[in-house]
Structure 1
Amino acid sequence: MTRLSLHSEPYGRTGNIGANVRKLLGAPHLDPFQMMIRETLQNCCDAAKLGKGPEVFIRLRRLGPIAANAMRERILFDLPKEPNSQVLLREFLAADAPVVLEISDVNTTGLAGPTRADRIPVDTKFTDFIDFLRNIGTPRDTEHGGGTYGFGKMSLYGASRCQTILVDTLAIEDGPPVRRLMGCHVGSSFDIREDGMMLRYTGRHWWGIPSDDGETVEPLAGVDAEQLAYDLGFLGRDPLQTGTSIMVLDFDTGGKSLKAFGGEIAETVLWNFWPRMMEDTPAGRRLTVHVEIDGETIELPKPENFPPLDLFCGAMRRAREIEKEPSAEVFCMNPRKKLGRLIVERGLCAPRMRLVDEDSLLPANCSHIAVMRPAELVVRYFKGDAFPDQRLEWAGVFVSDTDKEVERAFAHSEPPAHDDWVPENLQERNAKRYVNVALREIKRMAKEVAAVGESGLSGAKASPPLARISGILGSALVGVNTGAARRTKKVNSVTRGGRPQRARALPATFIELRSDNGGAIAIFHTEVLQDAGRSGAVLRGVAGVLVDGNSTTFSSGLNDQPEVIKIRRLEGDMTSVGSELRIDGADGTFEVLVRVPKSCAATLDVSILEEDTK
C-alpha cells in the first residue's frame, strides 16, 4: 500500500506568490460555481485531441467506505501544520459520507510534460502538468482557445470547503501513456519557529512521492496511481484513454441536497456551453457532457430542444452560414476590418423545462445576445429590450472574426475570468477600437430588436429603418424551430371557487412545434373558465402572423396564412376540425393545432362565444 507524503512549499530566497493569489486574479461577474464549471470545461475543450470532441463526466457523489478510507490512510494521512488548514481537512475526513465533485474528460491530451517547474528538458513540447499543478496563470497555447491555468484552477479550490483537489491524469509522453496522481491544497501562509529562525511557508501543499533529492514530492505514477485512483472511485480509463480527472474535496453545495444541486450543474452547463453541444457542431469541436448525481444519471436535453436555447441555436446556425447573410457582418470602418457576425432569432415564448426549483439562469422571457470568440465558448450575455408582447421573445449571437488581429484584440480584452470584454484592458489603439465598435453594435442591436417590434408593419419609426435591420434579424422563423422540446405541462388551472362574470378562455400558451409533411404544426393550450350559468358555447381560435415583433391577426395581405386546423379537449371527450369547437358549457384545458406556413411565426388568439352570439 503506497501512502502519499506531504510537501509544504517554503518561501524561496527571492520570495513567492502567496495565498493571496486569488485576489490577484480579479473578481468575476459570475458566481463561484458557474465560474468553476466555465473555466474547467473551457480547459477541457482546449485540451481536446485534434479531430475528436471532448467528452466530460461531471459526478457529484458521496465517497463510499473504501474511497473514504483510502482518502484518510493513503492521501491525507499527513496534514499541513497551518491550524486553519488542519481544521478544514479534519472536518472533511471526519464526515460519515464525504461529498466530492469529480470532473473528468476523455478524448483529451491529459496533463503531459515535466513534473518540476524548475527543470524542464530542452525541446519539451508539453508543460501541461506543471502549468496546472505547479504554476499560476499560465495561458493555454491552443489556437482560439478559451481558458488559462490561473482563474480556472483557483476556482476549483474555491469550490472546495477544505480548499483541496486531487488530480488523476493519463497522458502520452515520448513513449506509452503515463498515469499520474497528485493532491494539492491552497491555504494561508504560515510560519514555523526552528533553531531561532522563522521559517516561512506560502500556504501551498502537495501530496505525492518524495523526490530523489528530498526537496519536493512527485506524483504517484504507473500501476500504483491507477490502483489508488480506482480505490478513490475516479472515472475508470482504458489503457489508451488519455485525459484528466479532477476531484474537488468537500464540495460546497450551498446547503442544497445533491439531487437539487444536480439541476444547477445541468443548467449551468447548458447555459454556458450550448454552442459546442449543438447537434450540427462539427464532431471535432462538439462537447459531450454527462452529469451523474450519486450514481444516478441526469439526462441533459439537447440545446435545440431547450427554450430559450433553441432560439440561440437558430441564430448560431445562421451565423455559421454567414455567406448566406452577409448583412449580418459587423465592420470597423477606420481602419476597415471585419469584426464578426451578429444574428438575432425571434419566436414565441415557449414554456421552460425546469431543471432547478428557483434562481434559474434561464430568463422567463429572453431578450439577450450571447457573445463569443471563434472558440464558440460563451463569454457573456448582453440583455436587451424585450418585446412589448410577452408571448414573444428573441435571442442573438455575436461571434468575433477569426482574423488574427481581431481575435487577439478580443482575447486580450478578457479579464482572467474570461467573462467579459473590457476595452480598457487593451493598450494598442486599433485593438481597443475593434472591441469598442463591436460592443457598440451589440448594444445597439439589443435596443433595436424591440424597437423594430414597436414599428409594426408600417416601419414608420425613423430609427432603425426596417430595410437596414431586416437582413440581420431575418424572418421570424418559429416555423423552422422544429426541434423545439415537447412540453407536457398544462396551462395553470384557476380555482373554480370563484367563477368569472363571463365565460372566457385564458391567453393561449405555446407548447411545441411538430413536423408535418415538410411543414410544421404549432401546438397551443388554453384554459376555458365558465361563468355560473355556463354560458360559453363555442371555443374559437384565430391564428395570427408575427411580423417584426408584433402579433397580428388578419386574413389578407400574405399568400400563405397560418390556419387553425383542430381543437380538442385534453380530457378527450370533445374534438373538432377547424377553428371552432362546440363546448356547451364545458371547461378545462383545450389543445389548439395551428398549421404554420414557411418563413412565418404563428400566434393564436382564443375566445368564447355564447349561444346567442354564435
Structure 2
Amino acid sequence: MAVNDAAWWSQRVAAEGSTASEGIRRQLGKPQLDPLTVLIREAAQNSCDAALPGDGDVDFNVQIRRLTGNRLANWTKFLLPEPAGSALGIEQALAGESRILTISDRGTTGLGGPLRADEPTRAGERADFVKFIRNVGERKGVDLGGGSYGFGKGILYNVSRCHIVVADSQCVFRGRLQRRLIGAAMGDGYEHGGVRFTGRHWLGVQDGDIAQALIGEEAEKLADQLGLPKFAQGQTGTTVAIVDADLGVTRTKSTEKPRTPEDAAEYLASTILWNLWPRMIEGAHNRLRCSVKFEGFAVDIPAPESTIELKPFVDAYRKLSRPNEYEVPVRKKAPTEVGRFAKVESMAPLKPHALLSKAAPFEGGARHCARMRQADLVVNYVQGEPHPDEAIQYAGVFRSSVDADGYFADAEPPTHDDWVTNGLHGVALGVVQLAARFVRTNMTVAPPEIDSSAQHDAALAPLAGRLSGLVSGTKGDGAELRRGGAGRRSRHGGSGRSSANPKIIEGPALRQESGQAVIVAKVQFPTWPTKKSVVANPVVVIEGGVEPPGVLEPPTVLRWECTETGEVRSGSRVALLRNDKRIWEVTVLPPGDAVIRLGVTVESDD
C-alpha cells in the first residue's frame, strides 16, 4: 500500500464512560527522573519481559534521526491529515526540525496475539499487541517480569511533542511469521461535530468500526518507506518510533539549554548503564546488548564491569549467587527469604566518568545500594552513610526473592522507581518495610581499627574497584612496610626490630599525572650504619593471592623522590648512604584493572 492509504480512527466517548487519553498520559505523575530515563526504563522493561524463551541475548537499540528529504515526505503523507478537531499539531511538528526517536528490540517475541481487544486469546497465547496498543491497566501476565499494569507506556506518548508513536513488530502468530505496523496517538479529549472524543487515535486500515494494523507485505513496505529498522530473515521483535521527540534539556548549576541529538544520545547511553547494568553484564540471563546512535553516529557504551563507578555494584550483585557471600533479612513467617543483600568496597573514582556522569543518580563515589527485583532492572539507588575515607566508595545490591517478588511489584509506582508502602497491608507491608530497614541498617561503614604495632595492609590501586585481602608483602633482610607510627612497642620485650624497617607515613593515594592515574606513598627509612639499597616490589593482587607473573600487565615503579631535596631517582631502586635524607615518595603506575600490593626489599651494598 502507499503511505497515504492509512487513515486515522478516533475513539468516541462511550455512553457508559471511557478513560480519557490525558488521564493515561498522566498516570506517571511528575516523576523526579528525567523523561528520557523513564523512557529507557519502561522500554527496556518491555523488551526484557518479551525475551524469547531460553538464554539468548536481546538486542536493545536506540536511534535519533532528523527527518529530511524523501523520509520526511513519506512520514508527512503517512501522518496527515490529522484527525479533525484533535489539535494533535502534526503539521507543525513536521514543519520544524522534527526528529524520530526509535527504540527497537530483537530476540524478543514481538507484539503477538490477537489484533482486536474483543478477540479472546487461545491457550498459551499472550495478548501483547492488544496490551501495548489498545488496553491500559491490564496485567502483563509475565512471571517475575518488570512491568505490572502497563501504565508506564504513557511515557512513550509524553516524549512525543504531538503524542504519537508508531509500532512496527514482527511476531509468530498462530504458527506463522507476521509483520504488523500501526500508529497510535494519545492527545487531549475534545468535542467535534457535536461528538465527544477521548483523545485516543489509531492510524491504520479500516476494519469495521476500528483502525487495524497493516500486516504482512504492506506493513513491511511501509516500514521501509518510513526508514524503520529492518528485521533479519525470520527475526522477531518490535520497533517503536516516537514522532517529533522532545530530547529534553541539559542543566548545569546556572544554565539550562535544549539537548542536541549528540547530548541526548550520550545521556541515553549513560542512563542505560545506570539502570540496565544487571542485564548487560557477562553471564546475565537474556543479556541486553545495547546501542545508541544519533544521525548514524554510535555512542561507545563500555561494559559496566569495566568502569570504576559500576564495578563494585556488579561485584556485589555477583555475590548474591555465591553461598556465604550474601546476607538475608531475618523473617520467621513466609516468605522467610524476602531478598538477598551484598556489599563491596573499592577505591572511589578520581574524577567523573565522561559518559556515566551524564545521567549519574548521585555525585561522587558510591555509598549506595542498588535495589532491584527478579527482573534484574534497577529500581533505585538508596544512599548510605559516607565512608570515613573519601578515597573509598562502597556499593550494595538488594534483590528481592522469587517468593517475595510480587510484594515488591505491588509497592512500585507506574515509573517503577521506588518501593512505596502507602496502600500496602499485611504480608506485603511487612516484607517491604523489612527490606527497607535491612538495607538502611547495612549501608554503613564501621571506622577502621588502628593498631600501630600491627602489620599494615597496603593495597594501593584498585582502578576498577577490585579490592581483595590487604596484607603487605616483605622480603630481603626482614624489612616490613608499615604505616603511621609503627615502631618499637617497648624498650624491653616485644618487637624491637621494626626500628630498622621502612614504614609508610603518608598514603597510599591516587594521583593524576599527565592524564594517567598513579599511586604514591611516602616512606620513611631508618638511619642504617651502612649503605643500603631499597627496591620497591609492587605486585598485582587477586582474590585469594597474588597474580602469577605473565598473566596481567605488571605494575611499574616510576621513581623515588626525596621530599626534602626534590632529588629524583628513576626506577624501582633507591640507594641510601648514612647521611642521605630519610623520607622519600615512591610513585607506581598500575595496570588498568588491578589492586596493587607494595613490598620492599632492603639490600646491603657492602
TM-score normalized with structure 2 length? 0.75
Aligned-residue offset at 1:306: 1.5
Q: Residue 419 in 1 paired to residue 417 in 2?
A: yes
Deviates more, 1:116-125 or 1:339-348: 116-125
Counterpart secondary structure, 1:330: coil
Q: Partners in 2 of 1:120 and 1:329 — Cα distance?
A: 43
Change (3 A) 1:346 1:133: same
For 1:301-340, list aligned pairs within 5 A: 301-321=302-322, 323-325=323-325, 328-333=327-332, 337-340=336-339
Match of 1:45 among 24, 43, 48: 48
Residues 159-195 of structure 1, C-alpha deviation per residue, up to 9 Å, x if partnerless? 11111111100010113211111111111101123xx
Change (3 A) 1:58 1:48: same
Q: Is the CA contact 1:185–1:204 (under 8 Å) kept in the aligned structure 2?
A: yes
> What's the counterpart of residue 470 of structure 1?
none
Counterpart secondary structure, 2:16: coil
Q: Partners in 2 of 1:50 and 1:566 — Cα distance?
A: 51
Q: Is the CA contact 2:86–2:187 (under 8 Å) kept in the aligned structure 1?
A: no
Change (3 A) 1:510 1:397: farther
Change (3 A) 1:478 1:311: farther
> What's the counterpart of residue 81 of structure 2?
78
Change (3 A) 1:6 1:384: same
Change (3 A) 1:304 1:477: farther
Residues 492-531 of structure 1, C-alpha deviation per residue, up to 9 Å, x if partnerless? xxxxxxxxxxxxx99943689xxxxxxxxx9626799xxx
Aligned-residue offset at 1:440: 0.2
For 1:126-525, list aligned pairs within 5 A: 126-148=126-148, 150-193=150-193, 198-211=194-207, 213=208, 215-254=209-248, 255-281=258-284, 284-321=285-322, 323-325=323-325, 328-333=327-332, 337-351=336-350, 352-355=352-355, 360-361=360-361, 363-403=363-403, 406-427=404-425, 429-446=426-443, 448-449=444-445, 452=446, 454-457=447-450, 481=464, 508-509=509-510, 524=518
> What's the counterpart of residue 59 of structure 2?
55
Change (3 A) 1:509 1:479: closer
Change (3 A) 1:476 1:162: farther
Q: Percent identity?
A: 31
Change (3 A) 1:591 1:455: closer
The code of the aligned residue for 1:71 comes to W
Aligned-residue offset at 1:67: 1.7
Q: Is the CA contact 1:161–1:249 (under 8 Å) kept in the aligned structure 2?
A: yes
Q: Is the CA contact 2:329–2:337 (under 8 Å) kept in the aligned structure 1?
A: yes
Match of 1:567 among 533, 555, 558: 558
Deviates more, 1:336-345 or 1:154-163: 336-345
Counterpart secondary structure, 1:414: coil
**Number of paired residues?**
501
Q: Is the CA contact 1:372–1:400 (under 8 Å) kept in the aligned structure 2?
A: yes
Change (3 A) 1:545 1:348: farther
> What's the counterpart of residue 554 of structure 1?
none
The code of the aligned residue for 1:146 comes to G
> What's the counterpart of residue 466 of structure 1?
none
Q: Partners in 2 of 1:580 and 1:34 — Cα distance?
A: 57
Aligned-residue offset at 1:62: 1.1
Counterpart secondary structure, 1:183: strand
Change (3 A) 1:10 1:231: same
Residues 242-294 of structure 1, C-alpha deviation per residue, up to 9 Å, x if partnerless? 0000001111112111111111011000000111111132xx42111111111
Q: Partners in 2 of 1:152 and 1:5 — Cα distance?
A: 27
Q: Is the CA contact 2:59–2:107 (under 8 Å) kept in the aligned structure 1?
A: yes
Change (3 A) 1:544 1:105: closer
Deviates more, 1:330-339 or 1:416-425: 330-339
Counterpart secondary structure, 1:20: helix
The code of the aligned residue for 1:340 comes to G
Q: Is the CA contact 1:350–1:511 (under 8 Å) kept in the aligned structure 2?
A: no
Unmatched 5+ stretches in structure 1: 459-474, 485-504, 513-521, 529-539, 547-562, 582-588, 605-614
Q: Which has the higher helix share?
A: 1
Counterpart secondary structure, 1:116: coil
Match of 2:6 among 4, 10, 13: 4
Change (3 A) 1:28 1:580: farther
> What's the counterpart of residue 531 of structure 1?
none
Q: Partners in 2 of 1:172 and 1:183 — Cα distance?
A: 20
Aligned-residue offset at 1:122: 5.3
Q: Partners in 2 of 1:343 and 1:479 — Cα distance?
A: 19
Aligned-residue offset at 1:46: 0.5
> What's the counterpart of residue 67 of structure 1?
71
- The alignment yields a C-alpha RMSD, in angstroms, of 3.7
Change (3 A) 1:146 1:603: farther
Q: Is the CA contact 1:104–1:243 (under 8 Å) kept in the aligned structure 2?
A: yes
Q: Partners in 1 of 2:575 and 2:52 — Cα distance?
A: 58
> What's the counterpart of residue 576 of structure 1?
571
Counterpart secondary structure, 1:331: coil
Aligned-residue offset at 1:158: 0.8
Q: Is the CA contact 2:110–2:238 (under 8 Å) kept in the aligned structure 1?
A: yes
Residues 548-591 of structure 1, C-alpha deviation per residue, up to 9 Å, x if partnerless? xxxxxxxxxxxxxxx9961259xxx973115899xxxxxxx996
Change (3 A) 1:402 1:425: same
Q: Partners in 2 of 1:205 and 1:511 — Cα distance?
A: 57
CA radius of gyration, larger in: 2
